[in-house]
Amino acid sequence: MPSSPKGMATAVVRNLEKNTGKTLDQWLKVARKGPKEGKDLVKWLREEQGLGMNTAYAIVAHSDSAPDWMTKPGGTLLDEQYTKGKEELRPIYDTLAAEVARFGEDVVLDPRKTYVTLRRSKQFGTVQPATKTRVDVCVRLPGVKPTKRLADAGGAGSSSITHKVGLTSLKDVDKQLIGWLKKAYEARGA
């Protein structure tokens, strides 16, 4: 199974006609009849055309409705997150990313427009420069009681995210935080 979003989209497109009866070009013609906004088009392809999530995302990634995070290189998106007064926060992200990458070869750090998703087979967290002075690390730890530091995420981002930790300096990337992330990573199994 491909380990990157690009690899997965390539595999889906390669098997599109076999799995759906239509080529990518045929699906792009269908997609032009749907909503223009990327997320709305994904929803439309799933609900109105009966496609699965990965198939719908692969088609949208090749369409005129593809959002920036699907078409821009990940490094570009990441660099754009840490601009406009947020440059001082980048070392926090870089340190955290290096720690998370040590969890295993299956870790994927996938930059989007405003955050980076952390996943293996499934998402286990996100990292986002929330303000000019704080990076938020959101993590999936169902059943874990919130604390002062490991706050209830209150529906932040994905519905699978349960907790949030605010980081304001490199010292906040400590054993406790890495432990929570590792626990979330392990719970999302390969």
Please state, in angstroms and rounded to a whole number, the distance separating the CA atoms of residues 140 and 159. Answer: 9
Burial 37-73 (b: 16+ CB within 10 A, else e): ebeebbebbeeebebeeebbbbbbbbbebbbebbebe
Q: Does residue 52 share a domain with residue 92? A: no
Domain final residue pick, 49, 71, 93:
71
Q: Does residue 85 share a domain with residue 64? A: no
Q: Does residue 144 share a domain with residue 58? A: no
pLDDT digits (tens, 9 = 90+) for 11-29: 777 888 898 999 888 998 9
Q: Does residue 139 share a domain with residue 107? A: yes
Lowest mean pLDDT among 25-39, 52-66, 176-190: 52-66
**Beta-ladder partners of 187:** none
Q: Does residue 101 share a domain with residue 143? A: yes
Q: Does residue 161 share a domain with residue 94? A: yes
Q: Does residue 178 share a domain with residue 113? A: yes
Q: Does residue 59 share a domain with residue 16? A: yes
Domain with 37, as residue range(s), is 5-71
Q: Does residue 162 share a domain with residue 92? A: yes
pLDDT digits (tens, 9 = 90+) for 128-160: 999 999 999 999 999 999 999 999 988 655 558
> How many structural domains comprise the chain?
2
Predicted confidence at residue 12, as pLDDT, reads 77
